[in-house]
Amino acid sequence: MMTELASFDIFMRTAFGVEPAARAGLQLKAMAEAKCLGPHEEAPLGKRESNVLYIGSGATKLAARASDNREQIVAFHFGGDIFSVPADDLHSYSVSSLEPTSLLVFPARPFFDCASSDPRISRALLERQRTALHRCRDKAVALGQKNALERLAGFLFAMADRIGTGSGVRRILDLPMSRRDIGDSLGLTIETVSRQLGALRKAGLIETHGRSRIVVRDLNDIAHLSGHCGKSERTEPIEADFDLDQCERLPVGVARPQTGGQS
């Protein structure tokens, strides 16, 4: 159908810079399956084997079930992203849309078999996988070592980078995910997410408008709170410790983060 053709061609050109008529392009096209998801819909995937997904437009969450009421969101994905979905192994993975989404689904094995035949495609995929792995590692650091406030600040920082609008240090975020999704992504409950957002709001670091819009007043402050300690000073470094207590007495331990949170 026309829709499938069009989105596939865009996929080949934007993701790999390869014309869809190339040999690998035709092979990939043969195994592509286009899907359109409503606002909150799980993508139908064969769970027996891994899949590779391309998000044409929209937003999705990649989640793992740990048990009936324990879900860990492993990654969020937005338009233009390519990622692989593990087959059900130790955990059961699923992809769900956060808003209306169009995507392409490939079976992982033949996809990689074919992709490796074209240097441009395999080079791009290796780079994207490396990015995904590094994001996942940073998430592991957050989940293993950071407290609730640091995790939330890290989340806001990452979202500002990926879907934020606005210039300078001020960023506007229209988050497609619910508080529950944020909590499931950060290993926190919705109550804790709400409380920490409230703390940031009271401290004057963010504004919230409605349910989905969050305005970051100064990205530097958020970056500072997130407990990152590499050399990525994208914006200007902050000298003095920012103290959430400056506005109001708050039971938030910013200055003394724990070794490993509480679990």
Partner DNA sequence: CGAGAGCTTGATTGGGATCAAGGAAAGTGG
Partner DNA sequence: CCACTTTCCTTGATCCCAATCAAGCTCTCG
Site residues (vs a second copy, CB under 8 A): 47, 50, 64-67, 69-72, 74, 84, 86, 88-93, 108, 112-113, 115-117, 119-120, 122-123, 125-127, 129-130, 132-134, 136-141, 143-148, 154, 183, 186-189, 226-232, 257-263
Binding flag, residue 208, DNA (CB under 7 A): yes
Closest distance between DNA and the C-beta of residue 104, in Å?
27
Cα 262 to Cα 64: distance, rounded to the nearest angstrom:
21
Stretch that binds DNA, among 86-94, 110-118, 165-173, 245-253 (CB under 7 A): 245-253
The site partner of 132 among a second copy, DNA, none (C-beta below 5 to 8 Å per kind) is a second copy
32, 148, 206, 225: residue in contact with DNA (rule CB under 7 A)? 148
58, 187, 203, 221: residue in contact with DNA (rule CB under 7 A)? 187
49, 179, 235, 250: residue in contact with DNA (rule CB under 7 A)? 179
Cα of 185 vs its chain's centroid, Å? 9
In 10 A of CB 186, how many CB atoms? 23
CB of 8 or CB of 157, closer to a second copy: 157
Query: Got the DSSP string for 105-171?
Result: EEEHHHHHHHHTTSHHHHHHHHHHHHHHHHHHHHHHHHHHH--HHHHHHHHHHHHHHHH-BSSTT-E
Q: HSE-up of 72 (CA within 13 Å, CB side)?
A: 11
Closest distance between DNA and the C-beta of residue 49, in Å?
31
DSSP H or E run through 181: helix 179-186
CA distances from 42 to 9, 99, 127 (A): 24, 11, 27
Closest distance between a second copy and the C-beta of residue 52, in Å?
9
The site partner of 207 among DNA, a second copy, none (C-beta below 5 to 8 Å per kind) is none
Closest distance between a second copy and the C-beta of residue 144, in Å?
3
Stretch that binds DNA, among 74-82, 114-122, 173-181, 220-228 (CB under 7 A): 173-181
Cα 61 to Cα 139: distance, rounded to the nearest angstrom:
14
Task: Read off the tokens for 235.
Answer: 């914006």
Q: Helix, strand, coil proportions of the chain in percent (round to 5)?
A: 40, 25, 35
List residues binding DNA (CB under 7 A).
147-149, 178-180, 187-195, 197-198, 208, 210-212, 251-253, 256, 258-263
